[in-house]
Amino acid sequence: MRLVLLGAPGSGKGTQATRLKEQLGVPHISTGDLLRAAVAAGTPLGLQAKAVMERGELVSDEIVLGMLEERFSQPDIARGFILDGYPRNLAQASALDALLHRLNLPVDVAVQLDVSTELLVQRIAGRAQAEGRADDTPEAVTNRLRVYSDQTAPVIDYYRERGRLVCVYGVGGMEEVSDRILAAIRSATADEA
């Protein structure tokens, strides 16, 4: 199963990916996690990305695609993958299609996690207290929500137009939401077969 998880900051992509990777037996690839690891390791790329991430803006397409290409060169992705946090804009969506076409591993389905803006803001505030993420400050959160609606929301239409989108209501218990996602994936992929 080759899956793209789409949703605003705070929509639960990371939480759901952690559970879905167990259920589907495929690796979870989060560009946010890859970038945070580069920042923590103090690599040149991490140093470049750090300030941009702290402001809640997007790291350059070139840097993120390079990281992703490296990750996709590892053999475990032959089993499938859950991609979380990529693509974040239309250029990334095209770049991903080109990369996966080259690897002969096209995306089966893109899942949009639907959560109201009001609840997103509440959830991020809760996470800021619990985890203290550098980009959970009020200014960075405002930027991340703006970047999402300006640049990432069009990616939803990109997959819809290509007949690969399923939309799942992202509010409820963790298992309740992942069961909804699994049912939506099953029905989308059964339609194709």
Residues that bind ligand AMP (CB under 6 A): 9, 31-32, 35, 52-53, 56-59, 64, 85-86, 88, 92, 135, 144
Residue with smaller CB distance to ligand AMP, 58 or 165: 58
- Cβ(160)–Cβ(109) under 8 Å? no
Residue in this structure with the two tokens 């049912």, named with its chain if needed = 183
Give how far Cα 18 sits from Cα of 78, 95, 140, 174, Å.
19, 25, 24, 11
Shortest reach from residue 5's CB to ligand AMP, in Å: 10
Q: Is 13 a catalytic residue?
A: yes
Nearer to ligand AMP, 52 or 182 (CB): 52
Give catalytic status of residue 123 as yes or no. no
Check: CB of residue 58 under 8 Å from CB of residue 146.
no
102 is a catalytic site residue: no
Which of the residues 19, 36, 88, 123 is marked catalytic? 88
- Round to whole Å and give the CA distance between 99 and 80: 14
Which lies closer to ligand AMP via its Cβ, residue 152 or residue 178?
152
**Residue 50 designated active-site:** no
Query: Does 21 participate in catalysis according to the annotation?
Result: no
Closest Cα to residue 142, out of 120, 114, 168, 158? 120
CB of 139 to ligand AMP, least distance (A): 12
CB of 190 to ligand AMP, least distance (A): 30
81-84, strands of its sheet edge to edge = 28-30, 81-84, 2-6, 109-114, 165-169
Which of 2, 55, 127, 160 is catalytic? The answer is 127
Minimal distance, residue 193 CB to ligand AMP, in Å? 30
Distance of CA 55 to the CA centre of its chain: 18
Q: Which residues are catalytic?
A: 13, 88, 127, 133, 144
